[in-house]
Amino acid sequence: MRTILVLMDTLRRDVLSCYNLQSPVVTPNLDAFARESCVFDEHWVGSAPCMPARRDILTGRLNFLERGWGPIEPFDVTLPQVLREHGYFCHITTDHCHYLRTGGEGYLQQFNTWDYHRGQEGDPWVSAIDDPSNMPRDYYGRVRRQYQLNRTQWPEEAQMPSPLTFQSACDWLDRNGQAEDYFLMVEAFDPHEPFDVPDEYLSLYDGPELDRDYYEIPCYARQSESDVTDDAVAYLRRRYHALVTMTDRWFGRLMDKVRELGIWDDVLLVATTDHGYFLGERDFLGKNFMPLYNELAHLPLLVRFPGGARAGRHAQQLTQNIDLMPTVLDFAGIEIPDDVAGVSLKPLATDADAPTKDYALFGYHAMDVNITDGRYVYFRAPVPGNQPCFEYAAMPTTIRRVLGTDNPGAIECGRFLPRTDYPVFKVPVTKPGIIDQSDDPLREVSKTRLFDLAVDYGELDDLAGGNDPAEDRMVGLLLRALDENDAPPEQYERLGLAAARSACQSDARP
């Protein structure tokens, strides 16, 4: 069985015409792929942001209940590992710079081989003591000195990291594509910021020009609390749309290669993303600090089943990226490990009514915990003080640093995770690890919210606390989901659910 998984970072659902007929974004290749694929309408984020989402994909489990940003753990059972044990060859090609940072250890090493294309974001690649000559002096948002150095190395589009990633995948397929039993993961950092894109693509979109030298990387903040003007936000949105179009072009080259090799009908092809992004909606810019509204949480998933089964159809079943691991294994005829919490989507290739699950649970570690049944979405806020709160890790690294260095004496070590005998560190958390631009990291998620997506997809009418009977039902569903996903016991107390859980357990006793 051949499988190609394409992961495009920060690809918003609403830019694709298969989800939004009014989308102004030019994506002819993704549009064509959607017409030949099954389009999943109820695909939801799991763990956010980047590395937690990737651990979800590779392990088929939700990362965010146990820890935040971090590496593959020694006790993780991963998709490439299982495939390799059954004779499959696994290769990844990527320009996702976080794999090579502290907190990104162990992911690439799950594969037989890997390619990495340098230069994205703050990748410490081009080495220079003096500042580069292209540093802007007048700008909105942030400027990364390292990125300004790196971008001097790609005078042409084809030399940029994400195009190189797609071209590398084409080259790999030229050498190996007609073999059997492989898993190829093609992971483009684009259209993640910085929204660095040639003028050829920017010219496709009308809008205001910038009144400063540079705006490609927003600060993660409310627009109203920054100096960013409405015209600057519109310009940033232009850059994002242009970068989506460039990414679509190179995605199309990869799909052309699959057809050229004559394997189009003999491969499982998946295209998705890790999370969305705010481009001024609700006064927000960026991600991480705000609730996981639909702009962040409701994601695209396009699956071309072998032979084109369900091509052009839309599936309404709830799905998440934890479902990709069991799906690939199921198509390969490999038993799905007991650890896996996701469900296989293979039955949907032949049965439009095949069930998946009745909820999607999602969130950032140490922030609110969220759940949807497809009709309602419920954001459960932590109690004031957000305690007790811990991260569990055998590999105690997180993004750009080591866990617990602020209070190492409070760290415990023991067998705290029931699914493994591996000892882990239990590290107290006083501030979510992904919040680095705010002195009040829980301000935006300190309120519990409930929305009826059937009549309020924009999530504007908060029903929480209004005696809507759906709230009690969603609380019960959340309690069940936490139990079924092995949530650490303090999560119930942190979310103010300890009493409700005890009541449910009492009701369940004979």
- Alpha-carbon distance 264 to 232, whole Å? 42
Q: Which amino acid is at 492?
A: Y
- What lies within 8 Å, CB to CB, of 345 at 6+ separation is 303, 319, 323, 327, 356
Domain ranges of the chain: 2-357, 361-508
Give 500's pLDDT tier (boundaries 50, 70, 90): confident
Give 146's pLDDT tier (boundaries 50, 70, 90): very high
Pairing of strands 278-279, 301-304: unpaired
In CATH, the number for domain 2-357 is 3.40.720.10
Across 173-248, the runs of DSSP E, i.e. the strands, are 182-188, 221-222
Under the phi-then-psi rule, with left for phi > 0, alpha for psi from -120 to 50, and beta for the rest, what region is 496?
A: left
Percent of the chain having pLDDT more than 90? 96
Give 502's pLDDT tier (boundaries 50, 70, 90): confident
pLDDT at residue 433 above 70?
yes
Q: What is the DSSP letter of 204?
A: T
- Alpha-carbon distance 392 to 388, whole Å? 13
Give the mean pLDDT of the chain.
97
Q: Which helix (H) or strand (E) holds 171?
A: helix 161-176
pLDDT at residue 440 above 90?
no
pLDDT at residue 50 above 80?
yes
Give 509's pLDDT tier (boundaries 50, 70, 90): low
- Interval 460-471: pLDDT, tens: 999 999 999 999
- Alpha-carbon distance 467 to 105, whole Å? 46
Residues 307-313, mean pLDDT to the nearest whole number: 98
Q: What is the DSSP letter of 226?
A: S
Check residue 291 and give its pLDDT: 98
Check residue 503 and give its pLDDT: 76
- Interval 185-222: pLDDT, tens: 999 999 999 999 999 999 999 999 999 999 999 999 99
pLDDT at residue 38 above 70?
yes
Query: Exposed/middle/buried for 126, CB within 10 Å: 0-12, 13-18, 19+?
Result: middle
Residues 101-125, mean pLDDT to the nearest whole number: 97
pLDDT at residue 364 above 90?
yes
Give 439's pLDDT tier (boundaries 50, 70, 90): confident
Structure tokens at 246: 């460039």
Q: What is the DSSP letter of 15?
A: G
Neighbours of 197 (CB within 10 A): 23
pLDDT at residue 446 above 90?
yes
- Alpha-carbon distance 407 to 415, whole Å? 21
Residues 313-329, mean pLDDT to the nearest whole number: 98
Residues 374-378, mean pLDDT to the nearest whole number: 98
Residues 39-49, mean pLDDT to the nearest whole number: 98
Residues 477-503, mean pLDDT to the nearest whole number: 95
Residues 122-142, mean pLDDT to the nearest whole number: 96
Check residue 506 and give its pLDDT: 63
Residues 64-85, mean pLDDT to the nearest whole number: 98
Structure tokens at 45: 């984020």
Q: Which amino acid is at 406?
A: D
Structure tokens at 466: 């209004």
Residues 259-272, mean pLDDT to the nearest whole number: 98
Residues 257-285, mean pLDDT to the nearest whole number: 98
Q: Which amino acid is at 154?
A: W
Give 507's pLDDT tier (boundaries 50, 70, 90): low
- Alpha-carbon distance 87 to 268, whole Å? 17
Using CA atoms, how far residue 474 sits from 62, 373, 375, in Å, is 19, 8, 11
Check residue 510 and give its pLDDT: 61
Residues 236-264, mean pLDDT to the nearest whole number: 98
